[in-house]
Amino acid sequence: MSELPGIVVMGASGRMGQMLIKEVLASDKARLVGVLDRPGHDWVGRDVGECMGGQPVGVMVSDDALETMAKAQAVIDFTAPAATVDMAEIAAQARAVHVIGTTGLTEEDIEKLSLAGRHATIIRAGNMSLGVNLLTQLTKKVAAALDEDYDIEIIESHHHHKVDAPSGTALMLGEAAAEGRGVDLTEVSDRGRDGITGARKRGDIGFHAIRGGDIVGEHDVLFAANGERITLRHVASDRTVFARGALKAALWGQGKKPGEYTMLDVLGL
């Protein structure tokens, strides 16, 4: 039997699920041992290679997470909040690393994941790309160097299918800016202004979401003062950057102690 870590991909039919399956199948460091989709999905029971329009790969789409996870060393999960919270318990039971890319999680969801993280290895990030994780560090540094004369606004753009706002990445960047400034994001966050809002409050961090077409993911962090502006920008033009990061996280997590980790840990940033 192969010694390579066995990976399960959750949300097989999704935009990210399909990217992840291709990434794992192409890897010489991991093997695809299972794929999951939600009960009732028409891919369930069929070979995932064929579902994706190619040759069979010998891995059937399942809706039975418990059974599928028994073979796995890691599960990569880019699905929806309720599915991710349910999977956290199953991954912990299976002693598999749980790599979470799902965004739109509530505080309550995050608390449940933290409970699971007491006895499981969880790696979670609203964006798994190297570029965005580096950008969080740059954002923190710039925010620390500038005072509140510089208004911080985070502008994100995504495809028209995206269901959550602000994006997970925008929230990561907001957290980084707040940390750099030494403030609590929940106290300064100003989301999507509309109507007679009054003048901008000094020290606020603003969030704005654009949704349209097939935009993969674009994020600007604007520092605007009287007389000058700085913009830090990341543009993702291909979802492979997220899939590559997620697989790296699944491999990095092998043998790590239970706990909650981020891509900063994985990338050593």
Ligand X SMILES: O=C(O)C1=N[C@H](C(=O)O)C[C@H](O)C1
Ligand Y SMILES: NC(=O)C1=CN([C@@H]2O[C@H](COP(=O)(O)OP(=O)(O)OC[C@H]3O[C@@H](n4cnc5c(N)ncnc54)[C@H](O)[C@@H]3O)[C@@H](O)[C@H]2O)C=CC1
Could you list the residues that contact ligand Y (CB under 6 A)? 10-11, 13-17, 36-38, 41, 78-80, 83, 101-104, 125-128, 168, 242
Of 269, 112, 169, 239, the C-alpha closest to 98 is: 112
**What is the nearest approach in angstroms of ligand X to the Cβ of residue 149?**
29
Catalytic residue among 98, 140, 158, 208: 158
**What is the nearest approach in angstroms of ligand X to the Cβ of residue 101?**
7
**What is the nearest approach in angstroms of ligand X to the Cβ of residue 167?**
3
Residue nearest ligand Y by beta-carbon distance: 14
34 contributes a contact to ligand X by CB under 6 A: no
**What is the nearest approach in angstroms of ligand Y to the Cβ of residue 101?**
3
Would you say 155 or 188 has its CB closer to ligand Y? 155
Of 241, 222, 236, 228, the C-alpha closest to 78 is: 241
Q: The tokens of 142 are what?
A: 């710039």
Catalytic residue among 22, 98, 162, 234: 162
Binding site annotation covers 38?
Answer: yes
Answer yes or no: 162 catalytic: yes
177/122 Cα distance (integer angstroms): 24
Answer yes or no: 158 catalytic: yes
169 contributes a contact to ligand X by CB under 6 A: yes
Q: The tokens of 169 are what?
A: 């990445």
Q: Angle formed by the axes of helices 130-145 and 240-252, to 10°?
A: 90
14 makes contact, choosing from ligand Y, ligand X, none, with CB < 5 to 8 Å by partner type, with: ligand Y
Of 127, 139, 103, the C-alpha closest to 217 is: 127
Cis peptide before 56, with omega less than 30 degrees from 0?
no
121 contributes a contact to ligand X by CB under 6 A: no
158 makes contact, choosing from ligand Y, ligand X, none, with CB < 5 to 8 Å by partner type, with: ligand X
Binding site annotation covers 170?
Answer: no
> Do residues 234 and 219 make contact, with C-beta atoms less than 8 angstroms apart?
yes
158 contributes a contact to ligand X by CB under 6 A: yes
Would you say 125 or 143 has its CB closer to ligand Y? 125
Q: What SS3 class is residue 262?
A: coil
Q: The tokens of 124 are what?
A: 């979670």
Distance of CA 202 to the CA centre of its chain: 30
> Do residues 88 and 82 make contact, with C-beta atoms less than 8 angstroms apart?
no
Would you say 188 or 251 has its CB closer to ligand Y? 251
11 contributes a contact to ligand X by CB under 6 A: no
Residues in the chain: 269
Query: Would you please indicate which residues are annotated as catalytic (active-site) residues?
Result: 158, 162
